[in-house]
Amino acid sequence: MSRNVRIVSRQNERIREAKKLAQKKHRDATGRFCLEGVRLVEEALTASLVEELFFTERLLQSPRGRELVQRAQTSAVQVYECSEPVLEELTDTVNSQGVAAVARKPAWELQPQGLMLIADEIQDPGNMGALLRTGVGAGARTLFVVKGSVDVYSPKVVRASMGAIFHLPHQVVDRPEVLELMEKRGIALVVADLENAQDFWTAAYPQDVAVVIGNEARGVHASFRDQAALRVRIPLVGPVESLNASVAAGVLLYEILRQYRCSRPESVL
């Protein structure tokens, strides 16, 4: 393994610059973000988005860790070996895996068609990360993030996405902007509601459809409900008022996926 630049000072310029990416304003200004963990860095390397890699000797104790560093060295990536205290400046997990990276935000060419998700002011990073992950699993083609939602490139969202942030095209939009786009393209909106709604499994979902997942406290904004082609409810058997936002998204997305698959003769579902 070739020799890497070694950083032993927490005040190193590269560390200070990377640490700034914990703040949204710096992520927005630079188009870059910080991530940590072996799997996420591997995903970012595969997407050719990594610009800088920071690791400790601990990472080299496993074959997978050594392979990750070697991949970075053979790519256009600046590699830095760090002391443990230095890497702690870039990680926010209790037990880090000995690696962090600075990556460019992916650039997407959005195609508003097929199965889509709209995150309407989702605040919880875990929920946003789970939406990304569930969307990828269910075959969603686009995620529209309404302004006022948590930043999809915050460290907790990136970590919760488990790499899905590199696979699901997404865009931050104003609410009126996405409403106009859906109407112009003839895309049906689906919202979960308690009033004037049908059970989600009885609805017939069109091929071009966007599932709106509302704010954890306030639910779906009235403008989405007003424009919705389908209002559906997820029946609750036990004594709870609602489901977690990402769980509700999973229920609806997979019912839509089931219907899509069952409408095709070659489907095994």
Report the distance separating Cα 105 and Cα 165, nearest Å: 10
The reply to whether 63 and 124 lie within a common domain is: no
268 in a structural domain: no
The reply to whether 254 and 156 lie within a common domain is: yes
The reply to whether 85 and 133 lie within a common domain is: no
Residue 211 is part of a domain; what is its CATH number? 3.40.1280.10
pLDDT of 267 over the 50 cut: no
The reply to whether 24 and 48 lie within a common domain is: yes
The reply to whether 214 and 143 lie within a common domain is: yes
Query: What is the arithmetic mean of pLDDT over 146-152?
Result: 97
pLDDT of 3 over the 70 cut: no
Query: What's the gap between Cα 141 and its chain centre?
Result: 13
From 104, 125, 142, the end of a domain falls on 104
Cα 268 to Cα 131, 135, 217, 261, 264, distances in angstroms:
25, 21, 38, 8, 9
Cα 212 to Cα 5, 47, 119, 149, 229, distances in angstroms:
47, 28, 6, 13, 11
Say what the pLDDT of residue 269 is.
Answer: 42
Average pLDDT, the chain: 92
pLDDT of 55 over the 90 cut: yes
The reply to whether 143 and 228 lie within a common domain is: yes
The reply to whether 97 and 129 lie within a common domain is: no
Say what the pLDDT of residue 15 is.
Answer: 96
Contact between 143 and 135 under an 8 Å Cβ cutoff? The reply is yes
The reply to whether 65 and 197 lie within a common domain is: no
109 in a structural domain: no
The reply to whether 250 and 122 lie within a common domain is: yes
The reply to whether 36 and 169 lie within a common domain is: no
267 in a structural domain: no
Beta bridge partners of 5: 80
Contact between 246 and 130 under an 8 Å Cβ cutoff? The reply is yes
- For a pLDDT cut of 90, what percent of the chain falls above it? 81
Nearest Cα residue to 199 out of 171, 161, 167, 237: 237
120 in a structural domain: yes
Residues 205-260: tens digit of each pLDDT: 999 999 999 998 888 999 999 999 999 999 888 888 878 888 999 999 999 999 98
pLDDT of 66 over the 90 cut: yes
Residues 81-102: tens digit of each pLDDT: 999 999 999 998 878 899 999 9
Contact between 254 and 269 under an 8 Å Cβ cutoff? The reply is no
Say what the pLDDT of residue 1 is.
Answer: 46
Structural domains in the chain (count): 2
The reply to whether 66 and 120 lie within a common domain is: no
Report the distance separating Cα 248 and Cα 235, nearest Å: 11
pLDDT of 2 over the 70 cut: no
Residues 174-217: tens digit of each pLDDT: 999 999 999 999 999 999 887 788 999 999 999 999 999 999 88
pLDDT of 266 over the 70 cut: no
Helical axes 245-262 vs 125-138, angle rounded to 10°: 10
Location of structure tokens 């600046």: 78
For residue 60, the SS3 value is helix
The reply to whether 253 and 121 lie within a common domain is: yes
Report the distance separating Cα 80 and Cα 190, nearest Å: 47
From 75, 104, 133, the end of a domain falls on 104
What are the residue ranges of helices labelled H in the chain?
Answer: 13-20, 24-30, 38-46, 63-73, 84-87, 125-138, 155-161, 175-185, 222-227, 245-262
Q: What's the domain range around 19?
A: 5-104
Q: Any idea what DSSP says for residue 150?
A: P
228 in a structural domain: yes
